[in-house]
Amino acid sequence: MDLASAQVLGAGLAAIGVGAASAGVGFVFGSFLQGAMRNPAAASQQQGTLYIGFAAAELLGLMAFAVAMIILYAR
């Protein structure tokens, strides 16, 4: 296996994290909506936690994308 094919393979494996981040964002919002439907009075208190979870999931996705691009284009 030469260097170019190893880079493409490594970047593809690193990009799996981008898809996992989208699943994480869906899980965060789904959990919030489920909790808000069960107890609407507590929904406003949980919004800060929602935004922190969203930001953490998006950060992991962006980091996975950055690593994939570094692997692909750095020599």
pTM confidence score: 0.79
How confident is residue 1, by pLDDT bands cut at 50, 70 and 90? confident
- What the block records as the tokens of 52 is 């922190």
How confident is residue 75, by pLDDT bands cut at 50, 70 and 90? confident
pLDDT, position 63: 93
* HEC sequence for the chain: CCHHHHHHHHHHHHCHHHHHHHHHHHHHHHHHHHHHHHCHHHCCCCHHHHHHHHHHHHHHHHHHHHHHHHHHHCC
Residue 51: name the closest of 22, 74, 29 by CA. 29
